[in-house]
Amino acid sequence: MQILDEKSLKRVIQVRPLNSHKGNFGKILTVGGTRQYGGAIIMSTSAAIHAGAGLVSCASSPLNLTALHTIVPEAMFIDSTVAKELRQAVAAADVIVIGPGLGTSAHSLEILSTVLQSTHKEQFLIIDGSAITLLADNRELLALLHGLQVVFTPHQMEWQRLSGIQISAQTNAQNLHVQQALKATVVLKKYQTVIYHLDGSIAQLKTGGPYMATGGMGDTLTGIIAAFLGQFHTSTPEQVVDAAVYIHSAIAAELSRSRYVVLPTDIIGKLQEFMLHALK
């Protein structure tokens, strides 16, 4: 088992080629954010933009339009309640995040189905939060993942729902067994997060700490993973996911030197600077 460290980040973050444009750094689509959880998808979107994605669209409820534009005017907006608009946005993306603040209503399920039906195998699909719960409760949808490049980012309870493994029984062996059957990368978020890769390798995070125990942390991580998958093409997807998971906690660790708790928006605000440091 590999321990994530600064080298995990440095091997992924590269000096950008001089003659490049925003199309080279990924078109990201984030999908989620009901009335109750609008902030979740906004944080995911803002994280993707600050982590260097070329173009980022956020598909959400129109209720979240103004807060999104105010926090991060660089983002574009898609009305997730209009299936046709959502399908077109999915088709145009390189990386899709589904789940932050999506909720578990019938309407949430419809959005998830639309996204899964529209995703194709050249794209990366990051499945987070309530989208994982919805999949666990509607297992017929799992067939739609067949052949797709999927990254799941569950916390332990969500992983229990999806994998059927009780939290207390979530050993690496058990987790790997189910993850390999899912043919997806699994980022299991917990104290010392573990990543189960497609090739059967395991990576573990020793960075970060309890100053990160606040709502929205996971949402922010999804945006970083998406931005990294969209822009770093000289590393394997395994290495890219490792780097994204590491930087999220490494920034928090750095910020914890000056604050008791670290908020997700604090981490977002430091991404640009921290990514530059990784080049040095």
Q: Determine the Cα–Cα distance for residues 57 and 92; give it in Å rounded to an integer.
A: 10
The minimum distance between CB 210 and a copy of itself, in angstroms, equals: 4
**Which positions make up the binding site for AMP?**
189-193, 218
Query: Which residues here bind a copy of itself, judged by CB under 8 A?
Result: 13, 16-22, 24-25, 35-40, 42-43, 46, 49-50, 52-56, 62-67, 69-79, 155, 190-191, 209-211, 213-217, 256, 258-266, 272-273, 275-276, 278-279
**Which positions make up the binding site?**
40, 101, 155, 189-193, 218-219
Helix then strand count (H, E) for the chain reads 11, 10
Instruction: Write the DSSP assignment of 59-82 as a string of letters.
Output: EE-GGGHHHHHHH-TTSEEEETTS
CB nearer to a copy of itself: give 180 or 209. Answer: 209
CB nearer to a copy of itself: give 71 or 142. Answer: 71
Within 10 angstroms of residue 63's Cβ, the number of other Cβ atoms is 13
The minimum distance between CB 232 and a copy of itself, in angstroms, equals: 11
The helix/strand/coil state of 44 is helix
CB nearer to a copy of itself: give 118 or 149. Answer: 118
- Show the CA angle centred on residue 102, arms to residues 97 and 106, nearest 5°: 125
The minimum distance between CB 142 and a copy of itself, in angstroms, equals: 27
